[in-house]
Amino acid sequence: MLTLRFLELKDEATFLDSLEEDWEGFSYAHLYEPGMALATYLKKLEALRLGEDLKPGWVPATFLFAFVRQPDGSDRCVGRVSIRHRLLPGMEIVGGHIGYGVRPSERRKGYATEILGQSLSVAKMIGIEKAIVTCDDANLGSLRTIERNGGYLDETFPDPATGVLKRRYWIPL
User: Is 131 domain-assigned?
Assistant: no
User: Is 170 domain-assigned?
Assistant: no
User: Is 165 domain-assigned?
Assistant: no
pLDDT in tens, 104-157: 999 999 999 999 999 999 999 999 999 999 999 999 999 999 999 999 999 999
Q: What is the pTM of this model?
A: 0.93
User: Is 143 domain-assigned?
Assistant: no
pLDDT in tens, 79-97: 999 999 999 988 887 889 9
What is the tally of structural domains in the chain? 1
Q: Are 135 and 143 in contact (CB under 8 A)?
A: yes
User: Is 158 domain-assigned?
Assistant: no
User: Is 160 domain-assigned?
Assistant: no
User: Is 134 domain-assigned?
Assistant: no
Domain range for 64 is 2-126
Which CATH number fits the domain that encloses residue 103? 3.40.630
Q: Alpha helix (H) ranges present in the chain?
A: 12-19, 38-50, 111-126, 140-148
User: CA–CA separation, 103 vs 112, rounded Å?
Assistant: 10
